[in-house]
Homo-oligomer: A and B are copies of this chain.
Amino acid sequence: MIRIGILGYGNLGKGVECAIRHNPDTKLVAVFTRRDPASLKIRTEGANIYSADTLEQHKDEIDVLILCGGSATDLPKQTPDAVKYYNVVDSFDTHARVPEHFENVDKAGKESGHIGIISVGWDPGMFSLARLYSNVILTDGADYTFWGRGVSQGHSDAIRRIEGVKDARQYTVPVPEAVEAVRAGKNPELTTRQKHTRECYVVAEEGADLARIENEIKTMPNYFADYDTTVYFISEEELKANHNGLPHGGSVIRTGRTGWDNENSHTIEFSLKLDSNPEFTTQVLVAFARAAYRLNQKGESGARTVFDIPPVLLAAADPAELRAHLL
C-alpha cells in the first residue's frame, strides 16, 4: 500500500482524493492545507488533516506527497521545499520555466535522497510523451498541438478581473479546418489565430457597460488579442446550468515522412476528451506517484519528468502480467 499525502485541497487536491479511490494499491493518509485544518472537510474517512506549516513533522507517515498548488507562485517554492522531506509529484505547467524548476527540484531531491517528478498531468505530461514518442519515430516531420474544446481557467480568471464582470467561463476551441488540414498531412503553417478560437460566457453585474466589457476582453493582450474571440453575455443561472464543469481535451498530431527519398507519409495522433480536467490530471498524478515511490525504493533520487519514467513503473500490475495482457 503506497501512502499518499496531498498538499492543497482545491480542484486538484480533491481530484487526487478521488483518484486514490480508483487505485486500490494507494491510500490517502493526510491532506495538508494552508487554511485552518479544523475548517476543512474531506471525503476520505480516516485520513488526517494537517496544517501546511507542519509538513516536515509527518515524513514517516507518507511515501509520496502530491503537490496540488498553482504553477505561478506555489510550486516553484513548494516542490523544492517538499522534496526535502518527501518523494513528490507536481503538475508544474509553466513550460518556459521547466528547466529552472527541474534544476531546483533535482538539487534538493539529491541532497535529501528523495524523488521529485515534475510537470505531470496531460500538458505537460501525456501530451509531452505523445510529442516525444512521435518525434523519435517520425524524425522528419512537424508537430501540432491543439487544445480544447475546453475551459481555460487562466482565461476565465482574466475575464473575471474586468470591472463589471461577476463571473465568466472561457472555452478554447480548435479551428476544425486547421485540425483537418494537419490530419490530412498538408503540413500547414498556422498562426495563433488560425489554430484556436476563444468563446467567452460572461455574467455581467447589473447595469454594467456590456460593450466596454466585450471590448476589454477582445483586446486583452496575450490572452485574447491574437485570437478570434466571441463573447456571450448570459445569466448567472445559465452559467451554473450549462457551464459548471471543467471539460477539456485536445490533440497532439505529428506528421512526417519516411523512405529512402521521403516518399511515404504518416500521421500519429494522440487525443483526449475529458469531462473533468482536474480529475484526469490527478489520475495521471497518482500513476506517477506510484513510479516515484518505486524509484525511491530502488535508491534513486533527484528530479524526473514523464520522459524519464519506464512505463512499467506506472502500473499496479506486475510486468509479466502487463506483457501477457497489454503488449
Contact = CB atoms under 8 A, between A and B. Distances in A.
A131 B326 contact: yes
Interface stretch (A59-67, A75-83, A191-199, A274-282): A274-282
Contacts of A135: 315, 326
B259 A99 contact: no
A156 interface: no
B22 A258 contact: yes
Given A305-B327, A307-B323, A258 B283 contact: yes
A2 interface: no
Given A99-B323, A264-B279, A323-B305, A314 B259 contact: no
A322 B283 contact: no
Given A259-B276, A283-B137, A132 B311 contact: yes
A314 B267 contact: no
A287 interface: yes
A132 B267 contact: no
Interface string A1-34: 0000000000000010111011100000000000
Contact of A260 (B21, B98, B275): B21
A59 to B, nearest CB: 26
Nearest to A23: B139
A324 interface: yes
A37 interface: no
A255 to B, nearest CB: 9
Q: How large is the interface on A (under 10, 10 to 19, 20 to 34, 35 or more residues)?
A: 35 or more
A266 B274 contact: yes
A128 interface: yes
A152 interface: no
Contact of A327 (B128, B267, B268, B283): B128
B129 A311 contact: yes
Contact of A311 (B23, B139, B306): B306
A284 interface: yes
Copies per assembly: 2
A227 interface: no
A310 B311 CA distance: 7
A143 to B, nearest CB: 8
A35 interface: no
A273 B264 CA distance: 11
Given A270-B270, A283-B138, A308 B315 contact: no
Nearest to A92: B327
A307 B280 contact: no
Given A307-B311, A310-B308, A310-B309, A287 B99 contact: no
Candidate in A124, A280, A309, A320 with the most chain B CB atoms within 10 angstroms: A280
Contacts of A267: 272-274
Contacts of A139: 22-23, 283, 316
Interface string A129-154: 11111011111100000000000000
A15 to B, nearest CB: 8
14 contacts: A99-B320, A99-B323, A132-B312, A133-B311, A137-B284, A258-B280, A259-B279, A264-B274, A264-B275, A266-B276, A269-B269, A307-B310, A307-B312, A307-B319
